[in-house]
Amino acid sequence: MAKLGEIAARVRSKNAGPFWITVDVFCGTTAVFERLEAGFPTARAAELLGQQGDALKRFSLPELNVIKFSFVRPEVQGSRRDRDMHGAQWAILLAEAEID
Amino acid sequence: MTLVLVPSGALGLGFDSKALAAGLDHKPDIIAIDGGSTDSGPFYLGSGSSKYSRSATKEEWRELMIARNALGVPLVIGTCGTCGADACVDWMLEITAELAQELGQHLKVALLYSSQPSKRIKEALVQGRIADLSPALQICDAVVDSCSNIVALAGAEQIQAALDTGADIVLAGRTTDTAIIAALPLARSDHAGGAWHGAKIAECGALCTTRPRSGVIAVEFDDAGFTVFPLAKDARCTAHTVSAHMLYENADPFILHEPGGHLDVSQAGYEEVRDNRVRVSGSRWVTSDTYTVKLEGARIAGYQTLVMAMLRDRSYVEAAATWAGDIERRVRTQLQDHMGLNSGDFDLELRLIGQNATLGEYETLNQVPVEVGVMAIVTAQTQALADEIAKALNPFLLHHPLTEDEELPTFAFPFSPAEISRGPIYEFCLNHVMVLDDPMEAFRLETVDLPHG
């Protein structure tokens, strides 16, 4: 067991316009990319990010060793209940996840 | 072949002056810089004001105006003053006029205005020319009327029209981040996919290099693709830094929608070539059947007042959530008893900094911190009411005891007055596109000669 953020080279998140957040997992190596492709299913990421069903989009980019997740943010950027204007701390939810 | 110099990701963010000088040696055909985006939230569009300081903006613009004058090429800024509302174009014009005077420059300036009168949007609604983007937000006349500012995002065509006036400087209202960079290469028939892809890679300046804070980069566009290179000493573009930037702030890593079509980079190849440059080809531009521009709108969502209190006493830190919940209940009762206010009349939240202020219900860790900052957020329909509710909270935040029989506690207030009136808060309320028959029909182009008179 190890944390995803310890295995991957970098995990970052950012607003993508006012309505979306995107999380980029830079795996660093093909070995880590393959480990996370197998050991970190979309359903697990969805659960951590509070996403239902197929609301979480996953993009796998093997040539970059990157796995990207995008979702509609629960609170529109900067609206009354939004806590994180730039969505930059959402990455923590994946980075702290335990991976087999 | 077109060489575009991009001094930084946004005017006001700063750039490396030596790198700018190095960029000028390459004799670019145009200098293009962004002035903003929705990145900093709805306030700037809602209020029609700039996020960056006027002095920082003016000093950086001075350097760019001097650089432009030395080269005799156009200087273009998109999304003036963070949000690109008409008032921000005029703000940039005022700064430009001051500098023209100070520098003794005689200039022709093109002004591209992107603000949308509500009447035009409502007519477009009736004509079925407004379409939802995902996620769909409700739109109707009342929503349109509630916006304090609506802008449409100009694309390459409108920037080209501004350049076609022969202007030395183009001050554009809201544009897509990429349009100001892609416009000239497209006008010169460089590769369309390459033009948009190179513009996306360059739109944050040196963020696509190994020295992101240095600002300045250049992109050479040609008939097959583009080559991007850094200008700061020791900065490098690598296949990784360049291709990774396509992911940045982009929900879909392969597709980018623009007025008039979309960019598809799924088949693009990135190759490291000489002098820390990266060569990109294989990007595809797909023209759409209709010409659409994206709309952005913001409106007042209430008025806000904050009160901060700090808990350091261990027993209170441990029981902060219980303590805050108790205060919230008591103050709601008091507001009903004293002022007849129901829960629908105001919004009250005690956000606990040190516990879950960042992630809220998604937080997975549960630890007792050294201290807890209590940020009371009051939102109401007027500032006076928000202030009044915040004042009603004040004695609770200062003295509320966890138990009835203990000596009255007092917590740390960092400010006097304790209440911080934030004024109006705004919210984004449009996520739509508008269909245009002519790209210029929703934009206004003017030219002025400086110095005035």
In a domain, B337, yes or no: yes
| Residue B420 contacts residue B300 (beta carbons within 8 Å) | no
Whether the CB of A49 is below 8 Å from some CB of chain B: the reply is: yes
CB contact under 8 A, A59 and B254: yes
Chain A residue nearest residue B379, CA to CA: A80
Beta-carbon contacts of residue B312 (< 8 Å; ≥ 6 apart): B370, B371, B412
- Are B384 and B288 part of one and the same domain? no
pLDDT score for B453: 61
In a domain, B446, yes or no: yes
In a domain, B34, yes or no: yes
CB contact under 8 A, A89 and B358: yes
- Give the domain extent around B269: 2-297+430-451
CB-nearest partner of B357 from A80, A83, A96 = A83
CB-nearest partner of A85 from B41, B249, B251 = B41
Rounded CA gap, B405 and B1, in Å?
A: 81
Phi, then psi, of B21 in degrees rounded to 5: -60, -40
Report, as ranges of residue numbers, the positions in chain B whose pLDDT lies below 70.
453
pLDDT score for A20: 98
* Nearest chain B Cα distance for residue A26, angstroms: 9
In a domain, B416, yes or no: no
Chain A / chain B CB contacts < 8 angstroms:
97
Q: How many domains does chain B have?
A: 2
- Are B52 and B107 part of one and the same domain? yes
Whether the CB of B427 is below 8 Å from some CB of chain A: the reply is: yes
- Are B281 and B374 part of one and the same domain? no
In a domain, B307, yes or no: no
In a domain, B85, yes or no: yes
| Pairing state between β B130-132 and B432-436 | antiparallel
- Are B281 and B348 part of one and the same domain? no
- Are B280 and B340 part of one and the same domain? no
Global pTM value: 0.96
| Residue B240 contacts residue A27 (beta carbons within 8 Å) | no
- Are B371 and B284 part of one and the same domain? no
- Are B283 and B223 part of one and the same domain? yes
Rounded CA gap, A21 and A13, in Å?
A: 7
pLDDT per position as a tens digit, B370-413: 999 999 999 999 999 999 999 999 999 999 999 989 999 999 99
In a domain, B237, yes or no: yes
- Are B31 and B153 part of one and the same domain? yes
Contacts of B254 in chain A (CB under 8 A): 59
In a domain, B30, yes or no: yes
pLDDT score for B69: 97
For residue A63, pLDDT beyond 80: yes
CB contact under 8 A, B301 and A59: no
- Are B105 and B201 part of one and the same domain? yes
- Are B278 and B165 part of one and the same domain? yes
- Are B226 and B361 part of one and the same domain? no
- For residues A59-81, give the mean pLDDT: 96
Contacts of A20 in chain B (CB under 8 A): 251
- Are B231 and B290 part of one and the same domain? yes
User: What is the identity of the amino acid at B374?
Assistant: V
pLDDT per position as a tens digit, B232-290: 999 999 999 999 999 998 999 999 999 999 999 999 999 999 889 999 999 999 999 99
